[in-house]
Amino acid sequence: MKSPAWLAGLLALTISASAAETPYYRVAVCDWMILKRQKIGAFQLAKDIGADGVEVDMGGLGDRHSFDNKLCDPAVRGQFLAKARELGLEISSIAMSAFYAQSFAEREGVDHMVQEAIETAKGMGVSVLYLPLGVRGDLVKHPELREAIVKRLQAAGRQAEAADVIIGIETALDAKVESALLDEIGSHAVKSYFNFANALQNGRDICLELKALGRHRIVQIHATNSDGAWLQNDPQVDLPKIKATLQAMNWSGWLVIERSRDASQPREVVFNFKANAAYLKQIFGVEKPSTIRSQE
């Protein structure tokens, strides 16, 4: 006959395994979209909005050698981290949003910029970086850039692997073609940063796209559509179905609010982002874990 202690241990292991298999989610906001790009005030504003974390941007790029990045300074990083701890928030990811407008394929010094972003992320204890290929890196409109983008992302992947971080790329490609792109890049440190809006603006079904990419290819999600209506009022976004799809995939991670602002008051930050954060939490029943990394 087994002892009570043995049975208690088995029960604890069973509960632990079950909990580990349960998908969990947290909600963050992009600091540049709440008009607090690389400003410490983004944390208090995120708290007021009801988010669990902030996606912190690297700053503008323009014609500079690299990003306008105040977080290169350890003292500034320390202030940001102290404020996040004080408010019980996390930094979900470090963003290179400048590449929405800059060409990742053609801009000189990209390797240096990626390394700076990686070092910033490591200095802040963050394991995920966001890299949009943007308008000038749109491989649907500019397929001639594919070879250059693959080579640069292979190099970025090696940089990320060495630092034990993951770069999430956002492309305009459908899930099947993006999966092939990721396979060609061939790095476990380069994954998809999925955006609801990319699928919807191109007439694609979000849930089919998520399933086609698969759990292990998706590192984080921008869980909003283009501006016009809050998530709860957007007929294109079936959030309960999306949740069911992600749960069936056993995907866990950060749901990051980027847009979905009401057309009548697009610049009212708390008005818009608080509504979207509340709705995401209502549907997803945001869970506890203190740190969410990628799907390994």
Summarize pLDDT for 75-105 with one digit per residue, the tens: 999 999 999 999 999 999 999 999 999 999 9
Q: Which residues contact 271 (CB under 8 A, 6 or more apart)?
A: 262, 265
Distance CA 288, CA 88 (A): 12
- What the block records as the tokens of 92 is 């979900």
Q: If DSSP codes are grouped into helix, strand and coil, which group holds residue 145?
A: helix
Q: What is the percentage of the chain residues whose pLDDT exceeds 90?
A: 84
Which pLDDT tens digit goes with each residue over 43-79? Answer: 999 999 999 999 999 999 988 889 999 999 999 999 9
- Would you say residue 206 has pLDDT above 50? yes
Kindly tell me if the per-residue pLDDT of 293 is higher than 80.
Answer: no
Q: How much is the pLDDT for 136?
A: 85
Other Cβ atoms closer than 10 A to 240: 9
**pLDDT for res 22:** 78
- pLDDT given for residue 287 in this prediction: 58
Number of CB atoms found within 10 A of residue 99's CB = 24
Query: Phi first, then psi: what are they for 247, rounded to 5°?
Result: -65, -40
Cβ atoms of 126 and 91 within 8 Å: the answer is yes
pLDDT at 135: 85
What pLDDT is recorded for position 240? Answer: 97
How confident is the model over 153-169, as a mean pLDDT?
98
Across the range 184-210, mean pLDDT stands at 97
**pLDDT tens figures, 1-42:** 444 343 333 333 323 333 446 789 999 999 999 999 999 999
Q: Please, which residues bridge with residue 190 across strands?
A: 167
pLDDT of residue 21: 62
Average pLDDT over residues 121-142: 93
Mean pLDDT of the 190-197 span:
98
Distance from the Cα of residue 282 to its chain's centroid: 20
d(CA 104, CA 185): 15
Question: What angle (nearest 5°) sits at the alpha carbon of residue 135, between those of residues 130 and 138?
Answer: 85
User: How far is residue 293's CA from residue 26's CA, in Å, rounded to a whole number?
Assistant: 11
Mean pLDDT computed over every residue of the chain: 90
Residue scoring higher pLDDT (88 or 296): 88
Domains (ranges, CATH) in the chain? Answer: 23-284 (3.20.20.150)
Contact 222, 33 (CB under 8 A): no
Q: What is the mean pLDDT of residues 257-273?
A: 97
Q: Whole-model pTM? A: 0.89
Segment among 87-91, 229-233, 285-289 with least mean pLDDT: 285-289
Would you state the pLDDT for residue 90? 98
User: Rounded distance, CA 215 to CA 192, Å?
Assistant: 10
Distances (CA, A) of 256 to 26, 46, 117, 273: 8, 12, 19, 11
